[in-house]
Each structure stands twice: as C-alpha cells, then as structure tokens.
Chains A and B, each alone.
Chain A
Amino acid sequence: GDSVTQMEGPVTLSEEAFLTINCTYTATGYPSLFWYVQYPGEGLQLLLKATKADDKGSNKGFEATYRKETTSFHLEKGSVQVSDSAVYFCALIEVGGSYIPTFGRGTSLIVHP
C-alpha cells in the first residue's frame, strides 16, 4: 500500500535559518503530493501541492519539488520565522482513487527568536 515517511522531529531552528523537512513516499500509481501545516490547537491547512513529476509547489516562502526518480517531496524555506512554528504533514493522494490522503507522521518545527 501507499506510505509516506517524514523525518522525525522536532526540528529546532533559529529565526532566519534555512529549513528542510524530508519526505519520501511509496505509491502504486501516480500520486499527487501535498504539504499541510497544523498550528497549535488548529486543524490542517493546505500549504502547497504538486500533481506531477518535476512540479514545484510554493506558498508563503515554502517550496517543494515533486521528484519521481527519488520518490521525494522535501519541504524547504530559505528563512524561517517564529510564526512558522507548527507541525508539518506530508501527504499523498492517488489520482483516480478514493481521495483519502495518506499522511506522514508529521514533523514539529520550533523556531526560536
């Protein structure tokens, strides 16, 4: 079955540091890939997505590139802010399937001033 593997957290950074959160996946078909963000006490918000190989999703300074050859979708940001502190979930949805996402376990990001 499908699966998503994320790097374990927490990831602790100082403000303005470079962020990378690794995500790799296994899928039987050709999935769409997503990053969701969950701020404390809130639901999930779609951060960015990519629907085919070599697509780059970007939003709010975050970006991730769909790499089919390495089955990866790593999240990056050049300069993090304290307000980016949250839990980040990588997910995939099989195109033409049930539309139910397969989530990674989530990676907590803590940004210090």
Chain B
Amino acid sequence: GAVVSQHPSWVICKSGTSVKIECRSLDFQATTMFWYRQFPKQSLMLMATSNEGSKATYEQGVEKDKFLINHASLTLSTLTVTSAHPEDSSFYICSAHTSGATDTQYFGPGTRLTVL
C-alpha cells in the first residue's frame, strides 16, 4: 500500500519556540493532505485540510496563525506549531489522499510533540 512518512517521530521543545513537522507521501502524489491531533486515549481530531499550491482549510476552533500549514509540493506538507506552549503537547498525525484513487486515506506514523 501507499506509504506516508512523518519527521520527526518525536520532538521535545521549550515553551515559546516553533516546531516544524513534515509529512511526505513516499510512493505517490498526494493532492490533499490532512493534519490531525490526537489526545491520549481519544480519537483523531481533524485540524486542517491541505491542498497542494493553495491555502489550507482549517477546522473550526483551530488557530491558523498558530498552526501554519504549507503544502508546497504533491509529496510534502508541513505543519509548524508556532510559539508552542505546553498545551500544544500532543500526537500529531498526517494523512494523504490521491486524486482519482479509491477513497482511502493513508496515515503517517505520527509525531509526538512535548512542550516543556
């Protein structure tokens, strides 16, 4: 099946710093990528939908200035958590969907962010 990677797999940072998370589709071109946040023992919460070459669409309640999303190519989307605070600590997961393919999303392995 299709492979989606995320980097880094975990990161620890100080409060007030910014962290960038990369999501790559390794063997296919992803016209649309999605960013999710998952709290412990809970389901995934969709944060935003990212389309290549256009601005991301954020879900209600998600601060677009805090969670910057860039989808610069058909194989790469990045999520930057700006001025991170401890409450931003979470597990962030991306997924990718291909245009014209079946309606399946392929998920990355996730990135564990801990803000001290």
Contacts and interface: CB of A to CB of B under 8 A. Distances in A.
A42 interface: yes
Nearest to A44: B107
Interface in B15-47: 32, 34, 41-44, 46
Interface residues of B, number: 23
Interface residues of A, number: 23
Contact of A43 (B43, B93, B102): B93
A93 to B, nearest CB: 5
| Max chain A C-beta neighbours (<10 A), residue from B1, B103, B105, B112 | B103
A99 B108 contact: no
Given A43-B93, A44-B44, A106-B42, A100 B109 contact: no
B49 interface: yes
Contact of A104 (B41, B43, B107, B108): B43
Interface of A: 32, 34, 36, 41-46, 49, 51, 89, 93, 95, 98-101, 103-106, 108
6 contacts: A42-B110, A44-B107, A93-B105, A100-B46, A103-B43, A105-B43
